[in-house]
Chains A and B, each alone.
Chain A
Amino acid sequence: GIQVEQSPPDLILQEGANSTLRCNFSDSVNNLQWFHQNPWGQLINLFYIPSGTKQNGRLSATTVATERYSLLYISSSQTTDSGVYFCAVAPRVSGNTPLVFGKGTRLSVIA
C-alpha cells in the first residue's frame, strides 16, 4: 500500500519562529489533507490539497504531485499551534477511500 513519511518527527520552536513540515508519499494520490491534532485529541482540517498551493492566515501548504511531496508552512508560530500535524493521503477518487496517515510531526511552541 501507499507509504506516507513525515519529517521532522519532532520540532520545538520559539514563539514567533517559522517552520516547514514535509510529507513524502510513495504513489499517486487523489486526496491529500493536512490536519492538526490539538492537545485534546481533536483532528482539525487544515488543508485539502492534492495539488497546488493554498494559504489560510499564517498557514500555507504546497503539494507537488508529480514529485510526490507536500509542504506545510507555519509562520509566526504561536503556542496554540502546538500539537501533532498529520499528512494523510488516499489514492482513489471512488470506492472506499480510507486516508493513510503519516506518523505526524509533533510541534511544541514555547513562549
Chain B
Amino acid sequence: EAQVTQNPRYLITVTGKKLTVTCSQNMNHEYMSWYRQDPGLGLRQIYYSMNVEVTDKGDVPEGYKVSRKEKRNFPLILESPSPNQTSLYFCASSSPRLGGYEQYFGPGTRLTVT
C-alpha cells in the first residue's frame, strides 16, 4: 500500500530534550516536506527536500533541522524543543515527474513540549 508513515504518533517531552520524528514514504517520491498545524494559523511548511541531500527552509524553520540521506526518509529533528513547538506535525511527499503532483500526507505526530 502506498503510504507515508510517521513515528511516533504522539509524544510528550520536556524542554531541551532532543527528539527526532521519523518520516518514510514507499512511493519513490523525490519531493518531501514537513508542515506544522496550529489553531488559528493553519498548516505552515517547516522544511522541504527536492531530492536526496537537497533540503531547504520553508516558512517556519527556526528550531528545526532535517536531513535527507535516503530518498524514502526525511526525519525532523528538534535539537532543543521548546513549548512553542507544541503542535501537530505532518510529513508529505509527492513526485512532480509523474504528471501532476498530488501530495500525500502522513498520519501526523502530536507533540507536546512541557
A residues engaging B (CB < 8 A)?
30-31, 33, 35, 41-43, 45, 48, 50, 86, 88, 90, 93-99, 101-104
Using C-beta atoms within 8 Å of the partner chain, give the interface range for chain B: 20 to 34
**Is chain A's interface secondary structure helix, strand, loop, or mixed overall?**
loop
Binary CB contact string for chain B from 41 to 55 against chain A (1 if under 8 A, 0 otherwise): 011010010100000
CA of A41 to CA of B87 in the docked complex: distance in angstroms?
11
**Which one, B56, B96, B107, contacts A97 given CB within 8 A?**
B96
Measured CB to CB, the closest approach of chain B to A12, in angstroms, equals 20
Instruction: Name the residue on A nearest B105 (C-beta).
Output: A43
B100→A33 contact, CB < 8 A: no
B48→A41 contact, CB < 8 A: no
A33→B59 contact, CB < 8 A: no
Which residues B96-114 have CB closer than 8 A to chain A?
Answer: 96, 100-105, 107-108, 110
User: Given the complex, which residues of A lie within 8 Å of B90, measured CB to CB?
Assistant: 43
A98→B104 contact, CB < 8 A: no
B101→A98 contact, CB < 8 A: no
Measured CB to CB, the closest approach of chain A to B108, in angstroms, equals 5
